[in-house]
């Protein structure tokens, strides 16, 4: 297929571009490089440096005439969205609207977007949540993602374009940039390798589903190649890990003399977020191939051998 990937120079985008390329798809990347990295771009793949809100991005889509769009460009921080409500809504909702409008004008047949576990209401325990779990976001980020999903599926119903929204759980893996808001695995590894203790919000018993970026990339490809439509689909591992457990695994591997420090809770974050991936298995043929335990040592070693000019990996 001819596929346009927005946000293709980012953490997930970079891995997904390689996955799609390996399976013979013809690609165009649109990215404004606000968080994406120039070194993530591949010289043989056309790249447009543009914001998805700009008319030049829409023009590039229409000139490329893709059969499908993978929309990854977004603000991706729950905590960051609280500090930047308008910017989050602008990029995640209005940005999606702009790409959808361009897709309709270009006659795109399939549209897949990255959504988030943040659309869900909190769970009373770390049970795997399926896609019919109530949607009640606790953050502006979750609200913008849920609204973008609804706009996507409504547009698909109206135009005949097939649609899928992938509700990604906690992504980790090589190439994740260091940020104070996103990527607890990356944040903890960097602190420990700098001789600093991990900082845990609240009691640390909040439970997360950590899914490796290679599994997310494969899920994106499977969704693009699928014919399912009008579906929002969880992408995770169905395995929960508490933040305390994560911190202990990393401390034991990196700096056994350090102890985690606990600070105040974050009310905009759900306590329990674990994915039921039955729908992804049934509709996409997806199953995770990597585990958190398997990949942590690899991440630590990659950081230790990375050039010092890189923020992380």
Instruction: Evaluate whether 238 touches 265 at the Cβ level (below 8 Å).
Output: no
Q: Are 299 and 189 in contact (CB under 8 A)?
A: yes
Q: Is 181 among the catalytic positions? A: no
Sequence length of the chain is 313
Torsion on CA atoms 92, 207, 212, 80, rounded to nearest 10: 30
Extract long-range pairs of 184-188: CB within 8 Å, 24+ residues apart: 184/208, 184/243, 184/246, 185/210, 185/246, 185/250, 185/292, 185/296, 185/299, 186/312, 186/313, 188/246, 188/247, 188/250
Of the candidates 120, 141, 181, 286, the residue annotated as catalytic is: 141
Q: Which residues pair with 128 in a beta bridge?
A: 274
Angle between helical axes of 292-305 and 243-254 (0-180°, round to 10): 50
Distance, CA of 23 to CA of 41 (rounded, Å): 17
- Residue 100: count of CB within 10 angstroms of its CB: 24
Calpha distance 183→172 (Å, rounded):
7
Please, how many CA atoms are within 13 Å of residue 13, restricted to the half-sphere of its CB? Answer: 34
Q: Which residues of 55-87 are buried (b: 16+ CB within 10 A; e: fewer)?
A: eebbebbeebebbbbbbbbbbbbbbbbbeeeee
Q: Map tokens 């649609």 to a residue.
A: 163
Query: Which residues belong to the active site?
Result: 141
């Amino acid at each position: 297929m001819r596929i346009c990937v927005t946000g293709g120079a980012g953490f997930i985008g970079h891995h997904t571009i390689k996955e799609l390329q390996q399976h013979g798809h013809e690609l165009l990347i649109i990215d404004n490089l606000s968080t994406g990295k120039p070194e993530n771009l591949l010289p043989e793949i056309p790249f447009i440096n543009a914001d998805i809100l700009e008319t030049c991005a829409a023009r590039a889509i229409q000139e490329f005439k893709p059969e499908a769009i993978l929309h990854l460009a977004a603000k991706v921080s729950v905590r960051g969205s609280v500090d930047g409500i308008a910017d989050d809504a602008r990029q995640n909702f209005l940005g999606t609207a702009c790409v959808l409008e361009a897709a309709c004008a270009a006659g795109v047949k399939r549209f897949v977007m990255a959504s988030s576990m943040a659309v869900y209401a909190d769970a009373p325990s770390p049970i795997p949540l399926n896609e019919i779990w109530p949607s009640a976001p606790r953050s502006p980020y979750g609200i913008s993602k849920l609204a973008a999903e609804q706009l996507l599926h409504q547009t698909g119903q109206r135009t005949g374009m097939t649609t899928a929204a992938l509700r990604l759980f906690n992504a980790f893996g090589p190439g994740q940039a260091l940020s104070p808001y996103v990527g607890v695995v990356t944040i903890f590894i960097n602190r420990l390798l700098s001789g600093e203790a991990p900082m845990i919000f609240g009691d640390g018993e909040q439970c997360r589903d950590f899914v490796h970026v290679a599994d997310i990339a494969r899920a994106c490809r499977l969704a693009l190649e699928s014919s399912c439509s009008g579906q929002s689909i969880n992408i995770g591992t169905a395995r929960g890990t508490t933040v305390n457990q994560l911190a202990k695994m990393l401390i034991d591997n990196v700096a056994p003399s350090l102890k985690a420090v606990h600070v105040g809770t974050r009310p905009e974050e759900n306590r329990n977020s674990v994915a039921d991936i039955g729908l992804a298995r049934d509709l996409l043929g997806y199953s995770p191939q990597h585990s958190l335990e398997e990949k942590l040592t690899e991440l630590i070693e990659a950081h230790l051998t990375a050039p010092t000019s890189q923020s992380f990996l």
